[in-house]
Each structure stands twice: as C-alpha cells, then as structure tokens.
Amino acid sequence: MRIANVARLGIKEIRSLWRDRMMVALIAWAFTGSVYVAATGIPETLNKAPIAIVDEDQSPLSQRIFNAFYPPFFTAPTRLSRAQIDPGMDQGSYTFVLDIPPHFQRDLLAGRSPAVQLNVDATRMGQAFSGNAYVQQIVDGEINAFARRGGRAAALPIDLAVRSSFNPNLTALWFGAVMQVINHVTLLSIILTGAALIREREHGTVEHLLVMPVTPSEIMAAKVWSMGLVVLAATWASLLLVVEGAMRVPIAGSLALFLLGAVAHLFATTSMGIFLATFARSMPQFGLLVILTIVPLELLSGGSTPRESMPQAVQDIMLAAPTTHFVKLAQGILYRGADLTVVWPQLLAIVTIGAVFFAVALVQFRRAINTMA
C-alpha cells in the first residue's frame, strides 16, 4: 500500500463530500442542532402530567390533597365523578386519576387504614413510571402532615445520606448531550463511508479508479481515513462548541484521550460502512441496511439502558460490536474522568474488532471491485 496514493485518494473523497451540500448539511445538523434538541428535549423530571381527582370525601384533608398537585410536575387537577373515570382514561385525557373514598378523613382520624385508589394509564410509560412514585409521595406527605396537625415528626433511628457521583444534580442534560454525540459518531461514520462508495458507483467513477495504478486496499483505506477525519473533526467541534459551550455540560476527563478512542472506533465503523455498501446497489438500499445495523448497535450498546439489565445472550453477542466498548470508554472518560490505565481494555477491544472488520470489509470490497470490472 502506497501512502501517497492513499493520501491523494482521501483528499479526493473530502473534496467530493464538500461538493455534496446535502451531506454537509446533514453532518452540520447532526453535531449541532440535533445534539442540542435531543439533549434539551429530555425532561429533567415529571413534567405536566395530566391528573384528575375523584373527591368523594369532601373534607379538609381531601381538599389539601387536591391542592398539593400543581405545575410543573402535574397539570392543574380536574375534578371528576366516579362515572367519569373510565371514559376519561379510555380517551387518554388523564395519565393519573386519584379516587379518594367517602369518610376518608374520619376513618384516618379514627385509626383505621382507608384505601385510596390510583388509576394509571400505563401506556404512557415515561409519566406512568416516575409519576406513580410522585403521587404516592405527595399523598403520603399530605396525610402525615395532616395527622401530625403541624407537629414535628419523630426522628428516625437511621439517616440515609444520598450522594450522586459524577452528576450531583441528576441533570438529564448532561447525559443526553454526550450520548447524542457518541451515537452520531457511529451513525455518521457508517453513512459517510458507505455513501462515498455508492456515490462512486452511481457517478461511474469506479471504472476510472479501476484503470488507475491503485489497489483496492488503497481505495478503501482512503475512504476510511478521509471520512473518519471528517467525523472526528465534527465530534471535536461539537463537544467544545455545543456540549461545553452552548449547553454548559462539563467534560470530566481528557478530550484528547476520548478522541483517541474515537479514532479506534471510527476505524471499525467506517469499515462497517464500506462492507454494507458493497451489498447495496443504490442509496435507498444502503439506507435500509444502515437502519437494520445502527438500531441494535446504539440501543444494545449500553448507552440507552445498562447492559446488565439485558438478557445474558444479548450481552455476550454485543461484545463483538465496537459500540459496546466505545460507549463504556466514552462514558468513563467524559463522565468519570477515567485515564488510560482504566480504559485501555476497551481501547484494545475496539482496535481488535476494528482490525477484524477492516479485513472482512477489504475481502468483500475486492470481490465487489472485481464484479464491477
């Protein structure tokens, strides 16, 4: 492999990409507006959940519970009758309907244990999961305060001190911004390299390359380094200007070490993009292949949900994916400030997987080139 040929072909790829205004706009949006919108669109807590209350007691305690629900966690409560519960839930008008039974205050003061019914629309998973605990805490707090008549509660024998590491305020923005950048590194690297090969085929320039004194390995290496460089530069700019600059999200670790891990990851994902492009005959076909590939890579890598919560078989299979190790490396560096002594196993795994992907993609690429010839 001649370095001069690889360099010249790579520069050609960058120039060709620059002339593709739609692809340039996609890259710019993915690492700026998309990161900002996705990160700020994640609600910090329960937000404006619709709730209705059936007050069959009409007591000071039930009124106190009614007044305890207010924005921004909940919308202003709506009063309903028992007959309106099912129609309201069926129409999706309310996520929560709290039913306070008759004689609730009297039974509570008499030492009995009256039951309060909470109806939850479980199809609204986000609000239902967190809002269930919110409603219970609010009702329990109002009942305890009413029962004490303003007195102080007895001290508990155990004091639980909660300390949130790496994200003291539990700000969802910190997680969403960084993970969006990590996901776009994978997505754009696969798309750009695959699109570069498809573009050569559609424009008829593959035949020109075949008559030039270059080898398939040089052609593939040029596409890998050029498209990887574009994604790497966009990632660096996004972390500095959008994540740290616009959204004020702190980066705990070394940005240079993260970019080193990104280089290793791009080596694997750009090879994957070329591999997929050899099976596609047009951009629409390539897009369908990318969808089938990128969804499991991102959802099962541990970035959206912890890998420990997945079936063991899925955990084992995803160890062969570079995204699994890259997400762990990126989170360790950017969230927890890990250094090379901590993340070297993930870095080594990414390089190994990338070498395998490059070799497999090169074999398939040579076959595709021979077919075109």
* Residue entry with tokens 């309903």: 80
Rounded to whole angstroms, the Cα distance separating 231 from 220 reads 17
Rounded to whole angstroms, the Cα distance separating 65 from 138 reads 8
The pLDDT-based confidence of 123 (bands split at 50, 70, 90) is confident
Quick one: which of 167, 213, 206 has its CA closest to 365?
A: 206
Beta 78-79 vs 96-100: how paired, if at all? unpaired
Domain ranges of the chain: 3-41+171-372, 51-148
Q: What are phi and psi for residue 54, nearest 5 degrees?
A: -100, 105
- Please state, in angstroms and as integers, the Cα–Cα distance from residue 87 to each residue in 97, 98, 123, 210, 247, following that order: 11, 15, 16, 69, 43
How far is the first Cα of the chain from the last one, in angstroms, to the nearest whole number? 21
Quick check: 96 pLDDT over 70?
A: yes
Per-residue 3-state assignment (H helix, E strand, C coil) for 268-292: HHHHHHHHHHCCCCCHHHHHHHHHH
Angle ∠(66,72,75) on CA atoms, nearest 5? 50
Rounded to whole angstroms, the Cα distance separating 238 from 233 reads 9
Q: Give counts: helices (H), strands (E), the chain.
A: 15, 4
Check residue 272 and give its pLDDT.
92
The pLDDT-based confidence of 150 (bands split at 50, 70, 90) is very low
Quick one: which of 280, 298, 293, 252 has its CA closest to 364?
A: 280
Q: For the CA atoms of 292, 295, 298, 300, what is the dihedral angle to 10 degrees?
A: -90
Task: Return the percentage of the chain with pLDDT > 70, whole number.
Answer: 92
Structure tokens belonging to residue 77: 């409560």
Quick check: 337 pLDDT over 80?
A: yes
Rounded to whole angstroms, the Cα distance separating 247 from 176 reads 11
- Please state, in angstroms and as integers, the Cα–Cα distance from residue 6 to each residue in 245, 260, 270, following that order: 35, 21, 15
* pLDDT per position as a tens digit, 271-299: 999 999 888 888 888 889 999 999 889 88
Q: How many CB atoms lie within 10 A of CB 139?
A: 17
* Mean pLDDT in residue range 173-182: 85
User: CB-hemisphere CA count at 13 Å for 195?
Assistant: 21
Quick check: 247 pLDDT over 50?
A: yes
Check residue 1 and give its pLDDT.
65
Structure tokens belonging to residue 198: 């498809």
Coil, helix or strand for 321? coil
Quick check: 152 pLDDT over 50?
A: no
* pLDDT per position as a tens digit, 128-144: 777 888 898 899 888 88
Coil, helix or strand for 214? coil
Check residue 264 and give its pLDDT.
94
* Residue entry with tokens 């890579």: 297
* pLDDT per position as a tens digit, 49-73: 899 999 999 999 999 999 999 888 8
Task: Return the percentage of the chain with pLDDT > 90, whole number.
Answer: 37
Quick check: 261 pLDDT over 90?
A: yes
Rounded to whole angstroms, the Cα distance separating 28 from 170 reads 29
The pLDDT-based confidence of 160 (bands split at 50, 70, 90) is low
The pLDDT-based confidence of 97 (bands split at 50, 70, 90) is very high
State the average pLDDT for the chain. Answer: 86
* pLDDT per position as a tens digit, 83-92: 999 888 888 8
- CATH number for the segment(s) 51-148: 3.40.1710.10
Buried b (16+ CB within 10 A) or exposed e, 243-279: beeebebebebeeebbbbbbbbbbbbbbbbbbbbbbe
Look at phi and psi of residue 337 and say left if phi exceeds 0, alpha if psi is from -120 to 50, else beta.
left
Check residue 175 and give its pLDDT.
81
Rounded to whole angstroms, the Cα distance separating 170 from 44 reads 8
The pLDDT-based confidence of 321 (bands split at 50, 70, 90) is very high
- Which of 1-10, 56-65, 169-178, 229-238 is least confident? 169-178
Rounded to whole angstroms, the Cα distance separating 136 from 111 reads 20
Rounded to whole angstroms, the Cα distance separating 165 from 337 reads 12
